[in-house]
Amino acid sequence: MSEPLHGEYKVPGGKLVAVDLEVHDHRLSRVAVSGDFFLDPDEALEVINHCLDGASVDTTVGELRSRIEQALADAHSRGTFGAPVTMAGFDAHAVAMTVRRALGRATAWADHEITFLDPGPLDPAMHAALDEVLGRELAAGRRGPTFRFWEWHNPAVVIGSFQSLRNEVDAEAAERYGIQVVRRISGGGAMFMEAGNCITFSLVVPESLVDGMSYEASYAFLDQWVLRALAEVGVDAHYAGLNDIASPAGKIAGAAQKRFVGGAVLHHVTMAYDIDADKMLQVLRIGREKLSDKGTKSANKRVDPVRSQTHLPRAEVMASFLNSFRANFRVVDGSLTADELAQAEALVATKFATPEWTARVP
């Protein structure tokens, strides 16, 4: 018999759920769910507790949720309840998440100390390589969670892992403007990056932080702090679709993710600060189609949702974002190790700067 275990989960926009339990022979026992939620009828709570007793400690969030939902449905069909169960401020998924946290299989932000890295301006290919290195290092247990902004001098187009090179990039225009093309390891769309024209960050966290969440839910969860940070600089932002951040004035940013074997998640976001739309439309083929209905034809036209809505210099916006990140999480300052830098440099030479990788989807 284990020592009593306790877990808590605050439902986004909802109530707090708590679970106390013990483990015996690798199975849950003496499960007790509590919280400030609303549940009717009262007898449903005992049904939830009872159906979780005996579940394996390896049961997934989805399986625990199904177990709870089936038990409540069965109780209703047997006439145990006079009416269907009403759960307000929480649901079966929230209970399942709380059980996983009690078992230590799912974690919360407060469980992690995040290292802020500031390596200075780097080649965009080096940034892409560091995303892979830091993800692998966390998955291997050699490095904790990290957060860093991208800084760079040379212009680039960074395309998603699965995008077609020829469909996305006009090679002649890229060569004419001296713009390198880099393929990253995460999915999503192309990023047109000149020094100072966008704000990009990479966050690497344990997969336990998004345990049981759908991909869509994990995007929104990992960017909750971004919405707060944008509000602090005067931007009313919200999540839109799978991976976009938008405001009443239109799209501000896009996010992308990569999951690593071993339990790490790379999550990064790029925000348009002050992009030369005319140049971008010449270099990005898909960009022409996306902006063709917006009248973006003048060489003087800018795509600048962050600059125009904040009226702040880019460095000041980034400083505010970092302050907001520090206020929300446990953050320490750190640096890349010599080994991590060497790994990244090797990946640039053997992967990210090679035509085989860049054109792996022609």
Q: Counting beta carbons within 10 angstroms of the beta carbon of residue 345, is it exposed (0 to 12), middle (13 to 18) or buried (19 or more)?
A: middle
Q: What string of DSSP letters covers 270-284?
A: EEESSEEHHHHHHHB
Closest CA to 200 of 263, 122, 134, 135: 122
Cβ contacts of 221 within 8 Å, gap of 6 or more = 12, 210, 213
Please, which residues have CB within 8 angstroms of residue 204's CB and are 6 or more apart in sequence? 131, 134, 135, 138, 145, 146, 147, 264, 265, 266, 267
The Cα–Cα gap between 114 and 223 comes to: 15
**Distance separating alpha carbons of residues 1 and 23, to the nearest angstrom:** 6
pLDDT at 12: 79
Give me the pLDDT at residue 82, please: 81
Helix ranges restricted to H, 164-297: 165-168, 171-176, 215-222, 224-232, 277-283, 285-291
Q: What is the pLDDT of residue 93?
A: 93
CATH 3.40.50.150 for the 5-102 domain, yes or no: no
Domain spans of the chain, in order of start: 5-102, 109-358
Positions in the chain short of pLDDT 70: 1, 287-301
Which CATH class, in words, describes the domain spanning 109-358?
A: alpha beta
Q: What is the pLDDT of residue 272?
A: 94
The contacts of residue 276 (CB under 8 Å, 6+ apart) are: 194, 197, 302
pLDDT confidence of residue 242: 87
- The whole-number pLDDT of residue 215 equals 85
- Long-range Cβ pairs for the range 175-180 (8 Å, 24+): 177/279, 177/282, 177/283, 178/154, 179/155, 179/283, 180/124, 180/125, 180/154, 180/155, 180/156
